């Protein structure tokens, strides 16, 4: 069968599905092609991960109609404590000090998946083609042709713009031989929901170690989302511990700040790598989300960055009166606009990961100085918090809380 559309989004994970919802009000005929059925337990994007959504991300989600579906299951982050394992200095970021109700919110990726998939299915100009995989792509001057494999066999889909949101190992990026810059950190994040004895009161804790962050995020039902980054060769050992031993290891590292931990959920491991595509656009093609830049979760910025990319792409297309979403001038405008935020966010996450894993005395000195400077200087804390909340460079209308069009 041969299908046509204006915008084909390959990958209906966190980034691709959010973009589809953001573009829908512009009236385009949008198709989302997703390889794994949403409800399947192996759906890679919508798993048990707790996502820290920044202040600007919550505004974007509100502007595209997703926040109202998530809010009841979201937990506000009111205070953030940042420390370095076994070193002096502690930075406390307090949303009250910044005149905000919260720095952002924590939402389970699986819950996000349920909400966004419902919206995709309810929106008349979005067609969700799933399970189906893209197996070929041919780029032309006026359209791009995708081959889709599903239980029905092979279909062709013609689109004026293709967005590759097919993850860090993007088929489209590899097929088009778009080069990447990558770095294997030799670290693996073990994630798990844990229940503390005392109320978490919206507090988030990030302890930076030489094998990555040990982060405890506030979550619904007085649970906490744990992200424990360890040397990759240690990950299997941590996954194999029985719950009681695992919780006692967590307490040993975290201390008694929230009392004892009484319950642990399922543990999952994610090997951590930086993968950045050296081109984010080609003729009638945009790379989005992990396909464009998969980053270390040290500052919880990966999806937040992708959402800002989606908000900018939607704004550039909203302001165009030609109504050709794949027009090359528009894609260049999008790409140039995103450079500053992408470079800054990626450099911060990569730089912090490397600085904290560096064994030298000089690196240790820099880390301590940085933490103490942030602890003592409210203006420095404020500047860093504003960037972490997603306000870096030119900010799209949706992130300012303004309507898209
Ligand atoms: C431990 C950990 C914690 C994190 N915490 C945070 C956080 O707190 N805050 C934050 O902002 N970010 C966080 N991130 C980052 C966040 O998870 C990613 O940014 C996000 O998952 C990227 O989404 P994506 O849609 O680009 O890619 P993916 O989630 O990989 O989704 C890609 C989708 O494409 C589909 N697909 C692949 N190939 C094809 C094909 N050929 N045809 C059709 N479909 C295809 C896949 O099935 C999948 O559904 C974290 C990451 C990790 C590892």
Q: Could you tell me the mean pLDDT of each successive run of 10 residues in the chain, 405 residues long? A: 92 98 97 90 85 97 97 96 82 91 95 94 96 95 94 95 98 98 96 96 93 94 96 97 96 93 95 97 97 94 97 97 92 97 94 82 76 80 89 95 92
Are 116 and 67 a contacting pair, CB within 8 Å?
Answer: no
Q: Whose CA is nearest to atom 3 of ligand 1?
A: 297
- CB of 16 closer than 6 angstroms to any ligand 1 atom: yes
- Tell me the domain boundaries of the chain: 2-75+106-182+274-355+390-400
Q: Which of 404, 399, 402 is nearest to 59 (CA)?
A: 399
DSSP states of 76-99: EE-EEEEEETTSS-EEEEETTTTT
- CB of 191 closer than 6 angstroms to any ligand 1 atom: yes
d(CA 106, CA 261): 19
Atom from ligand 1 closest to the CA of residue 54: 11
Residue 41 Cα, ligand 1 centroid: separation in angstroms? 15
The predicted pLDDT at position 40 comes to: 66
- CB of 225 closer than 6 angstroms to any ligand 1 atom: no
Instruction: Calculate Rg over the CA atoms of the chain.
Output: 21
pTM above 0.85, yes or no: yes
The predicted pLDDT at position 205 comes to: 95
H or E stretch including 388?
A: helix 378-388
Q: Whose CA is nearest to atom 51 of ligand 1?
A: 297
- CB of 187 closer than 6 angstroms to any ligand 1 atom: no
The predicted pLDDT at position 163 comes to: 98
Residue 374 Cα, ligand 1 centroid: separation in angstroms? 31
Q: Whose CA is nearest to atom 38 of ligand 1?
A: 166
- CB of 66 closer than 6 angstroms to any ligand 1 atom: no
Q: Whose CA is nearest to atom 1 of ligand 1?
A: 189
d(CA 168, CA 188): 15
CA torsion sign for 348, 335, 46, 147 is: negative
The predicted pLDDT at position 376 comes to: 78
Q: Which CATH superfamily is domain 2-75+106-182+274-355+390-400 in?
A: FAD/NAD(P)-binding domain (3.50.50.60)
The predicted pLDDT at position 263 comes to: 95
The predicted pLDDT at position 372 comes to: 77
- CB of 286 closer than 6 angstroms to any ligand 1 atom: no
């Amino acid at each position: 069968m041969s299908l046509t559309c204006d915008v084909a989004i390959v990958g209906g994970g966190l980034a691709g599905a959010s973009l589809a919802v953001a573009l829908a009000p512009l009236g385009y005929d949008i198709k989302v092609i997703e390889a794994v059925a949403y409800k399947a337990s192996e759906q890679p994007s919508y798993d048990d991960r707790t996502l820290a959504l920044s202040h600007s991300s919550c505004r974007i989600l509100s502007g595209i109609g997703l926040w109202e579906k998530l809010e009841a299951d979201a937990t506000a982050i009111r205070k953030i404590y940042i420390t370095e394992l076994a070193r002096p200095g502690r930075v406390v970021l307090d949303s009250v000090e910044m005149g905000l109700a919260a720095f952002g919110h924590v939402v389970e990726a699986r819950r996000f998946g349920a909400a966004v998939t419902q919206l995709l299915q309810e929106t008349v100009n979005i067609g969700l083609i799933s399970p189906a995989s893209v197996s070929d792509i041919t780029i032309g001057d006026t359209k791009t042709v995708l081959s889709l494999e599903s239980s029905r066999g092979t279909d062709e889909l013609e689109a004026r713009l293709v967005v590759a949101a097919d993850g860090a190992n993007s088929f489209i990026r590899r097929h088009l031989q778009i080069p990447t810059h990558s770095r294997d950190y030799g670290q693996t994040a073990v994630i798990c929901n844990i229940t503390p004895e005392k109320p978490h009161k919206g507090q988030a804790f990030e302890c930076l170690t030489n094998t990555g962050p040990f982060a405890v995020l506030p979550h619904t039902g007085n649970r906490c989302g744990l992200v424990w980054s360890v040397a990759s060769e240690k990950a299997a050992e941590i996954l194999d511990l029985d719950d009681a031993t695992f919780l006692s290891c967590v307490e040993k590292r975290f201390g008694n700040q929230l009392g004892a931990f009484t319950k642990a959920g399922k543990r999952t491991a994610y090997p951590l790598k930086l993968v950045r595509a050296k081109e984010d656009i080609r003729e009638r093609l945009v790379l989005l989300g992990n396909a464009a830049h998969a980053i270390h979760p040290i500052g919880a910025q990966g999806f937040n960055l992708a959402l800002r990319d989606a908000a900018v792409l939607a704004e550039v297309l909203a302001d165009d009166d030609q109504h050709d979403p794949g027009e090359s001038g528009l894609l260049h405008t999008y790409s140039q606009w995103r450079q500053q935020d992408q470079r800054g966010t990626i450099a911060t996450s990569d730089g912090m990961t490397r600085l904290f894993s560096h064994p030298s005395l000089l690196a240790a000195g820099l880390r301590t100085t940085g933490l103490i400077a942030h602890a003592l200087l409210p203006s420095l804390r404020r500047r860093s918090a504003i960037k972490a909340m997603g306000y870096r460079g030119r900010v799209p209308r949706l992130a300012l809380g303004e309507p898209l069009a």
